[in-house]
Chain A
Amino acid sequence: MSGGPAVRISIESSCEKQVQEVGLDGLETYVPPLSMSQNLAKLAQRIDFSQGSDSEENGVDSEPRDGEWGKQEPEEEEDTVKFQPSLWPWDSVRNNLRSSLTEMCVLYDVLSVVKEKKYMALDPVSQDPTAGKTPQVFQLMSKKKSLATAAQLLLKGAEKLSKSVAENQENRRQRDFNTELLRLRSQWKLRKVGDKILGDLSYRSAGSLFPHHGTFEVIKNTDIDLDKKIPEDYCPLDVQIPSDLEGSAYIKVSIQKQSPDIGDLGTVNLFRRPQKNKPGTPWHIKLEAAQNVLLCKEIFAQLSREAVQIKSQIPHIVVKNQIISQPFPGLQLSISLCHCTGDKKINRSSPEKPKPDDHLYVLEHNLHQMIREFHKQQLSSVVMPHPASAPFGHKRLRLAGPMAYDKAEISSLQQSEGLLEKIIKQAKHIFLRSRTARTIDCLASRIEDPQIQAHWSNINDVYESSVKVLITSHGYEQICKSIQLQLNIGVEQIRVVHRDGRAITLSHQEQELQDFLLSQMSQHQVHAVQQLAKVMGWHVLSFSNHVGLGPVESIGNASAITVASPNGEYAISVRNGPESGCKVLVQFPRSQVKDLPKSDVIQDTKWSHLRGPHKEVQWSRMEGRNFVYKMELLMAALTPCP
């Protein structure tokens, strides 16, 4: 820019005259200045006289109408221009001037008032050109209106809410019979007979064959004084339960050792806590209790029917509310139905000593489960959908024809044990299991060397469970683990499986298991010596689990082992019997024995390497905490130092 030619800027006074047009050559043509009179006339025309006078008159009118007035004005003005001049040429000017003067005066007054700032102050008005004064007001009005309607809606809603809350509270206080009936109807079977409403408590629809009708009646309980304070648990609906289903009941299963005299077997009253049956109990609790009573009665009826029908070696006894059976000799399984009606006071049992809680809850639970299974079987064999061509009955029996099942397969499908048979089997198993556990625990606590460990499996069948028994010596668990037994406890017998697969069947007698375990423990000691000899570098000369010589053991057989020291000088013989205990003999080299009887046969010096006579070790005086440790010490003592 600086390098460029100087620009000439002409300065002239600002144009006072209006430019009329600018020619193509840039020449401006000015409007010629008005003459005095022309100027006056123009100025006079500019003055909007009508607006001033009209606004004075129509000041009270609403502002939105001013727009209309604005439109009409020019017409009127034209009219006055048309007609007024004929009267007098300056008439309009005069009138307008007069009104303008008035306005000026008013303006002056206003300004003077404003200037005082005492009564009035002027604030700047927002300069929004689009939103004039009129639409703003209109907006305000519409907003106000819509807000008002919204507020009305909200208020209405609030009113409704508060009303419903109040109603709810009222309902809680005074429940409706019909809603209660509806609730009852959704959970129980109801039907209307005459003017009564009867319900069904029985499990018949679930497959039960129990002949009890199990009907209850629904009673309207609305004759309560509404003015009085309504009790909290008030319910307008009440149920009338048959009298024989009232109260509460349960089935008790227990196993007892001695059988009491049958003569004094009476009704058993075995209530832990007599349940209070207030009249105000809600209907659903009442109905559930009654249904439970019904189910217990059904179970007991089924059991007693089977007890009479089944022929067993020792007949089952059904006395009053008790069924007694003998699963094992000297044992008694009693199943009793305990039913307590609310009105009867049972205080007779209270003076007696509280008996130990010998409930077999598992069996009680299983009884309930089995009766439900029985129900389901009934239901599925008769009611459930089945192929039109197939005979009624068990689902899998339908396959028997087309698959050509033979007699054995069919009978295994049809095998249906009664409730009593099943529960007796389960009781037998439970008893056998607990007795086995006790036997093992007794032995484990009585005998410290060797040790017995029992690992019970967590998951059992109702008729079978298993336990793993390990016999070890303390401190030598790693090398002495020859005896591992798996005891499968069944219903009548215990099956013992050795680690090598041998299986032995023991009966339910406690003594058998105990004797067996004792003989295993005795064998363990000899096995332990064998294992120890391997570790210590001794040689096994002979080994026998069942020795045919020596004193006869009342339990099992004695076992024996003979081991020789690494260099063959010494030999240890061990004989261990379950009853006679252990006997340890050490054989010395012939050379070490002083008072060896002279022999005519063995005279050569080489025979002195033969082992000589045996000497018994006083085992109880040996040092060491257990048998294997003592044996280790003995072996160590007889092994010459290198």
Chain B
Amino acid sequence: MGVTCVCQVPVAEGKSVQQTVDILHKKLEQLGAVKQGNFCVDCETYQSTVNAGGQPSKLLYVMHNSEFPLSCLALFEGGPCLVADTNFDVLMVKLKTHFQNAKGHKVECRGSRYRYCDFLIKVGTVTMSSSVRGISVEVEYCPCVVPGDCWNLMKEFMLSFLGNNVPELPTVFAAKPEGLFAPADSVDTMTQYLELFNKLRKLQITGSNVH
């Protein structure tokens, strides 16, 4: 588990989503990255049915990542998060009276997983109820857990295949205290995915992007 950066790559002009993804794959293979299977990140939204004291009901996101196959993460928007066994899904079914599943809000991100020396690259397409919403790229630098120490290296690496689309330092890392040992972990990764999903959810479905 190293430092992870998740970003959105816009669809190239005059190309479909799949074509853009293929271009990225090609670029990575030209670099020397090796394909190592697939990956999948999904996110389900639950709405709290109990309204305590007139406060607006909070949304609970339950996420899975194939990189952490035995774990299940539950995140409140901007609030606390929980890492649990996969048994947590069963628990959520039992909590039906408190949290209702928003069926239409399931977001998924699927794609290929590449390894280039110490880097793990995952290029995926984000789909929401069978409509493609965008392309995500996740880059992980495995040997380091301190974001500040390896961000420049990661940025340089991303420059080599993302070109102009290199993101800024993710906000989850910017918020980490400096000087203290605050390792990046699975929650940071999932928070970035959640931010990306929420951003894509608000986008208008443009017919040309649908593959």
Partners in one complex: yes
Q: Give residues in A with beta carbon < 8 Å to B.
A: 389-391, 397, 400-407, 409-410
Mark the stretch among B50-58, B84-92, B154-162 that contacts chain A: B84-92
Q: Closest CB of chain A to B68's CB: distance in Å?
A: 5
Q: Check if A406 sits within 8 Å of B68, measured CB to CB.
A: yes
Task: Give Cα A423 to B180, complex, Å.
Answer: 46
Partner of B71, one of A389, A390, A391, A405: A405
Chain B contacts for A406, CB-based, 8 A: 1, 67-68, 186
Chain B contacts for A401, CB-based, 8 A: 70-72, 83-87
Q: Would you list 5 pairs from A and B whose C-beta atoms are within 8 A, ordered by A residue?
A: A400-B70, A401-B72, A402-B83, A406-B67, A410-B69
Chain B contacts for A390, CB-based, 8 A: 85
Does B77 make an interface contact (CB < 8 A)? no
Segment 58-108 of B: residues with Cβ below 8 Å from A: 67-73, 83-87
Does B22 make an interface contact (CB < 8 A)? no
Q: Closest CB of chain A to B88's CB: distance in Å?
A: 8
Task: Give Cα A391 to B84, complex, Å.
Answer: 13
Query: In the complex, which range does the number of interface residues on chain B fall in?
Result: 10 to 19
Q: Closest CB of chain A to B207's CB: distance in Å?
A: 37
Q: Check if A404 sits within 8 Å of B68, measured CB to CB.
A: yes
CB-nearest residue of chain B relative to A398?
Answer: B85
Chain A contacts for B73, CB-based, 8 A: 404
Apart from A391-B87, A406-B67, 6 more pairs, CB < 8 Å: A401-B71, A401-B85, A401-B86, A401-B87, A402-B83, A405-B70
Task: Give Cα A397 to B186, complex, Å.
Answer: 17
Q: Check if A404 sits within 8 Å of B83, measured CB to CB.
A: yes
Chain B contacts for A403, CB-based, 8 A: 71, 83
Chain B contacts for A409, CB-based, 8 A: 1
Q: Check if B71 sits within 8 Å of A400, measured CB to CB.
A: yes
Q: Check if A407 sits within 8 Å of B86, measured CB to CB.
A: no
Q: Check if A402 sits within 8 Å of B67, measured CB to CB.
A: no
Task: Give Cα A410 to B1, complex, Å.
Answer: 12
Does B195 make an interface contact (CB < 8 A)? no
Task: Give Cα A208 to B84, complex, Å.
Answer: 33
Q: Closest CB of chain B to A410's CB: distance in Å?
A: 7
Task: Give Cα A406 to B1, complex, Å.
Answer: 7
Q: Give residues in B with beta carbon < 8 Å to A.
A: 1, 67-73, 83-87, 185-187
Most B-side CB within 10 Å, residue of A401, A406, A407 = A406
Task: Give Cα A412 to B185, complex, Å.
Answer: 19
CB-nearest residue of chain A relative to B140?
Answer: A406
Q: Check if B83 sits within 8 Å of A407, measured CB to CB.
A: no
Task: Give Cα A389 to B91, complex, Å.
Answer: 11
Task: Give Cα A514 to B85, complex, Å.
Answer: 54
Chain B contacts for A402, CB-based, 8 A: 71, 83-85
Chain B contacts for A404, CB-based, 8 A: 1, 68, 71, 73, 83, 185-187
Task: Give Cα A407 to B69, complex, Å.
Answer: 7
Q: How many A-B pairs with Cβ below 8 Å?
A: 42
Q: Check if B71 sits within 8 Å of A407, measured CB to CB.
A: no
Chain B contacts for A410, CB-based, 8 A: 69-70
Q: Check if A397 sits within 8 Å of B70, measured CB to CB.
A: yes
Q: Closest CB of chain B to A411's CB: distance in Å?
A: 10
Q: Check if B68 sits within 8 Å of A389, measured CB to CB.
A: no
Task: Give Cα A52 to B207, complex, Å.
Answer: 156
Chain A contacts for B83, CB-based, 8 A: 401-404
Task: Give Cα A403 to B68, complex, Å.
Answer: 9
Q: Check if A405 sits within 8 Å of B84, measured CB to CB.
A: no
Chain B contacts for A389, CB-based, 8 A: 85, 87
Q: Closest CB of chain B to A407's CB: distance in Å?
A: 6
Most A-side CB within 10 Å, residue of B71, B83, B186, B187 = B71
Task: Give Cα A406 to B120, complex, Å.
Answer: 12
Q: Closest CB of chain B to A363's CB: distance in Å?
A: 36
Task: Give Cα A69 to B69, complex, Å.
Answer: 115
Chain A contacts for B85, CB-based, 8 A: 389-391, 401-402
Q: Closest CB of chain A to B135's CB: distance in Å?
A: 23
Chain A contacts for B72, CB-based, 8 A: 401
Task: Give Cα A423 to B71, complex, Å.
Answer: 35
Most B-side CB within 10 Å, residue of A390, A403, A404, A407 = A404
CB-nearest residue of chain B relative to A409?
Answer: B1
Task: Give Cα A574 to B196, complex, Å.
Answer: 70
Task: Give Cα A404 to B74, complex, Å.
Answer: 12
Q: Closest CB of chain A to B31's CB: distance in Å?
A: 22
Nearest first, the 7 A-B pairs at minimum CB distance are A401-B85, A404-B186, A400-B70, A404-B71, A401-B70, A404-B68, A401-B71
Chain A contacts for B185, CB-based, 8 A: 404
Chain B contacts for A400, CB-based, 8 A: 70-71
Chain B contacts for A407, CB-based, 8 A: 67, 69
Q: Closest CB of chain B to A59's CB: distance in Å?
A: 111
Task: Give Cα A390 to B88, complex, Å.
Answer: 11
CB-nearest residue of chain A relative to B73?
Answer: A404
Task: Give Cα A390 to B70, complex, Å.
Answer: 11
CB-nearest residue of chain A relative to B86?
Answer: A401
Task: Give Cα A351 to B1, complex, Å.
Answer: 65
Task: Give Cα A404 to B1, complex, Å.
Answer: 9
Chain A contacts for B84, CB-based, 8 A: 401-402
Task: Give Cα A404 to B83, complex, Å.
Answer: 7
Chain A contacts for B67, CB-based, 8 A: 406-407
CB-nearest residue of chain A relative to B190?
Answer: A404
Task: Give Cα A4 to B186, complex, Å.
Answer: 124
Task: Give Cα A401 to B82, complex, Å.
Answer: 11
Q: Closest CB of chain A to B62's CB: distance in Å?
A: 14
CB-nearest residue of chain A relative to B72?
Answer: A401
Chain A contacts for B69, CB-based, 8 A: 407, 410
Chain A contacts for B70, CB-based, 8 A: 397, 400-401, 405, 410
CB-nearest residue of chain A relative to B67?
Answer: A406
Q: Closest CB of chain A to B90's CB: distance in Å?
A: 10
Q: Closest CB of chain B to A406's CB: distance in Å?
A: 5
Chain B contacts for A391, CB-based, 8 A: 85, 87
Task: Give Cα A397 to B71, complex, Å.
Answer: 11
Task: Give Cα A391 to B73, complex, Å.
Answer: 18
Q: Closest CB of chain A to B71's CB: distance in Å?
A: 4
Task: Give Cα A400 to B186, complex, Å.
Answer: 12
Q: Closest CB of chain B to A311's CB: distance in Å?
A: 21
Chain A contacts for B186, CB-based, 8 A: 404, 406
Task: Give Cα A407 to B187, complex, Å.
Answer: 16
Q: Closest CB of chain A to B99's CB: distance in Å?
A: 19
Q: Closest CB of chain B to A168's CB: distance in Å?
A: 63
Task: Give Cα A397 to B185, complex, Å.
Answer: 18
Task: Give Cα A401 to B86, complex, Å.
Answer: 7
Task: Give Cα A513 to B185, complex, Å.
Answer: 44
Q: Closest CB of chain A to B59's CB: distance in Å?
A: 22
Task: Give Cα A400 to B1, complex, Å.
Answer: 13
Task: Give Cα A410 to B85, complex, Å.
Answer: 14
Chain A contacts for B87, CB-based, 8 A: 389, 391, 401
CB-nearest residue of chain A relative to B91?
Answer: A389
CB-nearest residue of chain A relative to B113?
Answer: A407
Task: Give Cα A400 to B67, complex, Å.
Answer: 12
Task: Give Cα A410 to B68, complex, Å.
Answer: 9
Task: Give Cα A406 to B72, complex, Å.
Answer: 12
Chain A contacts for B187, CB-based, 8 A: 404
Task: Give Cα A306 to B147, complex, Å.
Answer: 45
Most A-side CB within 10 Å, residue of B70, B73, B187 = B70
CB-nearest residue of chain A relative to B88?
Answer: A401
Q: Closest CB of chain B to A208's CB: distance in Å?
A: 29
